[in-house]
Amino acid sequence: MKHLKVFVAVTISLGFIILSCQRVPLTNRKQFVGLVSSGEMMKMSFAQYDGFMDTSKVVSTSNSKYGKDAQMVARVGGRIKKAVEDYLIQNNYSEVIDGYKWEFKTVQSNELNAWCMPGGKVCFYTGIIPVCKDEAGIAVVMGHEIAHAIAEHGRERMSHALAAQGVTQVGAVAAGVATNNQQIMNLAGQILGVGTQVGGVLPNSRKQEAEADKMGLIFMAMAGYNPNAGVEFWQRMADASKNAQKPPQILSTHPTDEFRIEQMQKLMPQAMKYYNAYGGQN
């Protein structure tokens, strides 16, 4: 009887895991996301994004020093947003962006960083703009960060972290009613990582970073930006981060800069097909 109970429990657990898996758009990778709903992730994301912006130096488009940078970030974000949405709708993935409330903001900070939270909440720091150099460079970073959101990497990490902690209120989390649970909120803070030090954030896996590189190149290509700018950007980023005490968060989990650039070069023929197919503009 004891063995039968164990067998039933394992069978139910495996069944739950299988039912909690989905495919990532574009790469078709199977991922486990079932311990938290996308709606719940977005609720936490929107709250943290608004809180961060309320306490940060958000750059207005009329700012005399950084206004043009903010305009450029918003412009590139709008183009990639449209390209991504068109692709998802045309390929029957429209549910991925259900509930999205896109925002593209620039914050005054010397950090070499940018991020996109679940639900399309994007932030660029002014410190990374000179490394981006131009719109194509911003498109490299924008595509990569939006890819993390579209691939639901945050939700995937959250589900794995909850499973590792043996969270019992899975049903409540999945149903989207556990926002006030402090354990969940603390974990979300580590996953989303807004306004925290690199060491306090649960990082993307190398698999997720590589996936975001691939998707990001294709997203920028769909928006009409030449993906060859990707290799040039990451070369500049590697040079800019050499003297940093800690690697920028955007670089923190990738094996090496050289490996990243090498992999990107291998992806270039595929990305260029999208660029040519969608009528490259830059």
More confident of the two residues 250 and 51: 51
pLDDT for the residue numbered 12: 35
pLDDT digits (tens, 9 = 90+) for 25-84: 999 999 999 888 999 999 999 999 999 999 999 999 999 999 999 999 999 999 999 999
**Residue 193 has what DSSP assignment?**
-
Q: Please state, in angstroms and rounded to a whole number, the distance separating the CA atoms of residues 89 and 120.
A: 16
Strands (E), 80-226: 103-107, 114-117, 121-125
Q: What is the pLDDT of residue 200?
A: 47
pLDDT in tens, 96-147: 999 999 999 999 999 999 999 999 999 999 999 999 999 999 999 999 999 9
Rounded Cα gap, residues 231 and 275, in angstroms = 15
pLDDT digits (tens, 9 = 90+) for 206-240: 889 899 999 999 999 999 999 999 999 999 988 88
Given 85, 103, 135, 145, the catalytic residue: 145
Residue 266 and residue 208: Cα distance in Å, rounded? 17
Q: Residue 152 gets which letter from DSSP? A: T
Q: Is there a catalytic annotation at residue 103?
A: no
Q: How many CB atoms lie within 10 A of CB 44?
A: 24
Per residue in 193-210, pLDDT tens?
664 443 445 566 788 989
